[in-house]
């Protein structure tokens, strides 16, 4: 916007009037002083008045900055004292995530066995694969010592078969899904410390749900849902965590899909 147009807009809206008044007084005083139209004392008094206006104008932004700093500090204290209910939910309250599963193009799941999760989303996963979406699933290796580790962490060290059966059950559910070429499943050589579900994490409107692992606690585990638009840095963190888990996991083989055929 040109200077004269900006001047007309400010005067019409009543903005920055004190600045224009100060400039006008300074200009008039300067002209009068140059041509000796008024007495020197009058020029001096007008100059002091102009300086006073300048000082008053300078105080405004300082007070605004001080008020802004005060409000930011109050907001910081408020966030530090934010109760957990403001960001933590139970896994049973994942409505935002559930609504998005039916439309996502990039779905990634990582957890211990994910047996309950896969059962809950089985129809959505089938539809996702049929429409051409990519699905990645990470669970523990049901063979070897990983189920024993999971049992120890869940305070049932004498029942590793629980986790072995759950992990195999997840594989049995996944193997019957269509379009297996777009379904990738890998097995972890250790127990992950959390469950993470990612929907379109590379998009601006992606979602990431993180669930905390419990030690055989009754009821659902606490978790939280992040948006790539609002919590971009944290979504990037958990996406990188998923990628690291994916790199160390092994691909599922026919012996994992159909163990009865491979004694």
- H-type alpha helices, the chain: 3-13, 17-34, 40-80, 95-101, 115-130, 146-153, 161-175, 232-248, 254-257
Secondary structure (3-state) at 262: coil
Domain harbouring 127, CATH code: 3.30.870.10
Domain hosting 66: range is 3-80
110: which residues sit within 8 A by CB, 6+ positions away? 137, 138, 139, 192, 195, 196, 197, 242, 245, 246
Whether residue 152 is found in the same domain as residue 112? yes
State how far the Cα of 197 lies from the Cα of 41, in Å rounded to an integer: 78
Structure tokens, 86: 């403001």
Residue after which a domain boundary falls, among 80, 111, 135? 80
Whether residue 24 is found in the same domain as residue 95? no
Whether residue 72 is found in the same domain as residue 93? no
Q: What is the number of structural domains in the chain? A: 2
131-171 pLDDT tens trace: 899 999 999 999 989 999 999 988 888 899 999 999 999 99
Question: Is residue 107's pLDDT more than 60?
Answer: yes
For the ranges 10-19, 122-131, 235-244, 248-257, the lowest mean pLDDT is seen at 10-19
What is the average pLDDT value for the chain, to the nearest integer?
Answer: 77
State how far the Cα of 193 lies from the Cα of 212, in Å rounded to an integer: 7
43-86 pLDDT tens trace: 566 666 666 666 556 555 555 556 666 665 655 554 454 444 44
Q: What is the pTM for the complete model shown?
A: 0.64
- From the list 143, 141, 149, 139, the residue with the least C-alpha distance to 112 is 139
């Amino acid at each position: 916007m040109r200077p004269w147009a900006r001047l007309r807009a400010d005067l019409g809206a009543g903005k920055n009037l004190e600045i224009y008044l100060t400039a006008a007084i300074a200009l008039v005083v300067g002209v009068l002083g140059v041509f000796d139209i008024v007495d020197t004392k009058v020029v001096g008094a007008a100059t002091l008045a102009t300086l006073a206006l300048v000082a008053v104008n300078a105080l405004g932004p300082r007070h605004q900055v001080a008020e802004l700093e005060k409000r930011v500090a109050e907001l910081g204290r408020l966030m530090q004292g934010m109760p957990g209910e403001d960001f933590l939910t139970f896994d049973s309250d994942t409505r935002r995530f559930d609504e998005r599963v039916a439309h996502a193009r990039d779905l990634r799941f990582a957890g211990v066995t994910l047996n309950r999760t896969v059962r809950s989303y089985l129809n959505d996963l089938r539809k996702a694969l049929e429409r051409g979406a990519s699905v990645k699933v990470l669970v523990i290796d049901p063979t070897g010592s990983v189920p024993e580790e999971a049992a120890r962490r869940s305070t049932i060290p004498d029942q590793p078969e629980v986790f072995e059966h759950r992990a195999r059950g997840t594989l049995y559910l996944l193997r019957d899904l269509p379009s297996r070429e777009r379904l990738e499943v890998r097995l972890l050589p250790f127990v992950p410390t959390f469950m993470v579900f990612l929907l379109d994490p590379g998009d601006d409107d992606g979602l990431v749900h993180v669930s905390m692992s419990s030690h055989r606690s009754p009821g659902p585990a606490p978790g939280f849902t992040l948006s790539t638009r609002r919590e971009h840095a944290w979504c990037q963190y958990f996406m990188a965590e998923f990628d690291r888990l994916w790199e160390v996991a092994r691909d599922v083989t026919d012996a994992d899909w159909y163990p009865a055929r491979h004694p």
